[in-house]
Structure 1
Amino acid sequence: MTKRNEPRTNWTKEEVSSIYHQPLLELVFQAATVHRQWHDASSIQVSTLLSVKTGGCPEDCSYCGQAARYHTDIKVQALLPTETVLSHARQAKDAGAQRFCMAAAWREVRDNRDFDRILEMVKGVNEMGLQVCCTLGMLTEEQAQRLREAGLYAYNHNLDTSSEYYEAIISTRQFDQRMNTLDNVRKAGLSVCSGGIIGLGETDEDRISLLLTLATLPEHPESVPVNALVRVKGTPLEAQPKVSVWEMVRMIATARIIMPASMVRLSAGRIEMTEAEQAWCFMAGANSIFTGERKTLLVTPNPAISEDMEMFMRLGLNAAVAQTKTSCEQAV
């Protein structure tokens, strides 16, 4: 195996910009080379994401159909019963998922009975041998610690976009509050999952700034989701143009080069991608996807896990074997 240096956390904006703006084929070649130095390029982590509490969120994220202030077709759903969630986790494991992620449309975690029920869900899914991930909004270090003690492996809290463009997309939360949550997650010994969305109207410079923020954290996120905007009717961004696959490839490839040890997840937007376009993303360094038996990713369409397994077979890819170490023995 090629000798690897420790991942850098001192990237400059000029360096990241130079990588990002390379001719596309050269960029993909470099990313594919780095990918093979750090990972098994035939292995894809399969994660299933379930919305355990849907809609009614007080935030005003312009892309999100779960915001209470927007008039969308998404139905508000209270926190699911624990056994219902555990049943979905069993189905996900049987279908080949290695990680089960639970999402609640909350602004922040509150110390109440709902949080106690989340802790029960985490414990139950962990006992199945699945990696457990949650995305529940902002949380304190103490809450992160309680999640870890219940068996949580990873916590997702996306930055969404650059600090410079952030206020154009969200006004009910500050960028620094997102950064504070990532800090609390890391202090609790949890694996960090954090990425962003492209297609929000941001510039290339905003995308570079987002990547730079992630790549200059004291430790890189173990997982970096790259999402293409899914245009939800009724949200302020419903009329945005579809993100080009080449923009996704460029974003994934740059993330792979500057955060070589991280899992780079091809996340939202796959439903509008052909199999060939997804293959380009895998070539550029994506080695993780979200899938689900209900053909949804939270509240937006997503390929079914059976379709993904057929795609893997055609492309010569394999679902990665789950790692079931505790969160303080992270090896994502």
Structure 2
Amino acid sequence: MNNIEQIRNDWSIEEIKLLYHEPLLELVYKAATVHRTWHSSSAVQVCTLLSIKTGGCTEDCAYCGQAARYHTNITVKALMDKEEVLSIAARAKASGSSRFCMAAAWREVRDNKDFERVLEMVKGINALGLEVCCTLGMLTETQAERLQAAGLYAYNHNLDSSERYYDEIISTRIYGDRLNTLNNVRKAGISVCCGGIIGLGETHEDRIGMLHTLSNLPQHPESVPINALARVPGTPLQDLTKVDVWDMVRMIAVARILMPKAMVRLSAGRSEMSTTEQAWCFMAGANSIFTSESEELLVTPNPKLDEDRAMFELLGLTPLSNK
């Protein structure tokens, strides 16, 4: 293994492929070693994710229940009021969250009154002492600058999959659009949250390709969410099989080795994982999770707050403070 204190942005596909296909126990050991070099082994960042505008999206992402063209049981909801969002954020902080993430089911940000309201939410949550993150779709450079001026700490915009497989799951935008938004976010001085989803029907080579793109960005994302497909009834991917937990462990471990400074986020899929399975993910280098007082990760199930507290106590984990 390369020097574990070295940050690299020149990983080759072959190097990543060799890592990815290592025997699992050896891979986890290497990832755990890297993790402990760069991070506390027991500190996990607790992030709260809130859907501030739900459903009605014009995109055709095959995995997403919020796409207007699919017939799902998800209720479309308009943009929430600022005061309600701030109240939820305050409760999230009291429950141990250090980052508050707001998601709106938009294809792209538009310069209108809704964006102005989001900017006011960002200001209010920043004043609470929380890291503020948004995921609002595609951004222009000017919009990113306005979010940064309002106090936005991070922006989430996932690659979803490899560039090769991307067209199989989304046709309403191209891979380059995602990379352009990431570039606009970075130029504005906002930290980048960017990862992907496994279980979309992709191959191992596609997973390796996505990790190659992420790890070869000029600057690694500060946060890398690894999601297991949530099979939402009514979407084109509803009948795919559940992601094997060992595939999640493998992806987290490789991401940890390739991007040692990043917060590797164990994201969608936790509701179908046991405490033992989540423990393997933490051992492999995950050091961040999403929580929600509504027990939903946007519009899919997420573990209860009490379940997460019990898991932390059992595993000896503590919420990471941003102070």
So what's the TM-score if we normalise by structure 1? Answer: 0.96
Matched, 1:213 2:234: no
Q: Give the alignment of 1:173-252 within 5 angstroms.
A: 173-252=173-252
TM-score norm. by structure 2 comes to 0.98
Q: Could you tell me which amino acid in structure 2 is paired with residue 290 of structure 1?
A: F
Corresponding residue of 1:278? 278
Deviations 1:252-297 (A, max 9, x none): 0000001000000000000000000000000000000001111000
**Alignment partner, residue 305 of structure 2:** 305
In the alignment, which residue of structure 1 is the partner of 2:91? 91
Alignment of 1:72-91 (within 5 A): 72-91=72-91
- Shift in Å, 1:310: 1.1
Matched residues in 1 for 2:305 and 2:156: separation?
21
Partner of 1:145: 145
* Alpha-carbon distance between aligned partners in 2 of 1:101 and 1:6, rounded to the nearest angstrom: 30
Structure 2 letter corresponding to 1:119 = L
**Which residue of structure 2 lines up, in the alignment, with residue 120 of structure 1?**
120
Q: Deviations over 1:280-331 (max 9, x none)?
A: 00000000000111100000000122211110000000000124xxxxxxxx
Task: Describe the SS at the equivalent of 2:163.
Answer: coil
Q: Is this contact kept in 1: 2:4–2:34, CA < 8 A?
A: no
Secondary structure at the residue paired with 2:164? coil
Question: How far does the alpha carbon of each residue in 1:91-136 deviate from its partner, in whole angstroms, 9 at most, with x for none?
Answer: 1011110000000000000000000000000000000000000000
Q: Distance between the aligned counterparts of 1:247 and 1:154, measured in 2?
A: 27
Q: Is the Cα–Cα contact under 8 Å of residues 123 and 150 in structure 2 kept in the other structure?
A: yes
Aligned residues: 321
What does 1:286-305 align with in structure 2 at a 5 Å threshold?
Answer: 286-305=286-305
- 1:20 paired residue number: 20
- Partner of 1:46, secondary structure, is strand
Match in the other structure for 1:65: 65
Looking at structure 1, the residues matched to 306 and 94 of structure 2 have their Cα atoms a distance apart, in angstroms, of 12
Aligned to 1:166: 166
Instruction: Provide the rounded CA distance (Å) in 1 between the counterparts of 2:271 and 2:135.
Output: 22
Equivalent pair of 2:5/2:37 in contact (CA under 8 Å)? no
Residue 11 of structure 2 corresponds to 11
| Aligned residue number for residue 46 of structure 2 | 46
Counterparts of 2:75 and 2:116 in 1: how far apart (Å)? 24
Matches of 1:205 and 1:19, distance apart in 2: 12
Amino acid paired to 2:86: L
Deviations 1:15-50 (A, max 9, x none): 000000000000000000000000001000000000
* Distance in 2 between residues matched to 1:305 and 1:147, nearest whole Å: 29
Displacement after TM superposition at 1:193 (Å): 0.2
SS in 2 for 1:111: coil
Q: Which residue of 1 aligns with 2:132?
A: 132
Residue 6 of structure 1: how far off its partner (Å): 4.0
Task: Map Cα deviations across residues 169-194 of structure 1 (whole Å, 9 max, x no partner).
Answer: 00001000000000000000000000
CA RMSD, 1 decimal: 0.8
Three-state SS of the structure 1 residue aligned to 2:120 is helix
Letter in 1 for 2:171: S
Alpha-carbon separation, structure 1, partners of 2:84 and 2:125: 12
Aligned to 1:101: 101
Deviations 1:216-271 (A, max 9, x none): 00000000000000000000000000000000000000000010000000000000
- Give the gaps of 5 or more residues in structure 1: 324-332
Tell me if the contact between 2:99 and 2:131 (Cα under 8 Å) persists in the aligned partners. Answer: yes
Counterpart AA for 2:151: G
Structure 2 unpaired stretches of 5+: none
Deviation at 1:4, TM superposition (A): 6.1
Classify the secondary structure of the residue corresponding to 1:182.
helix
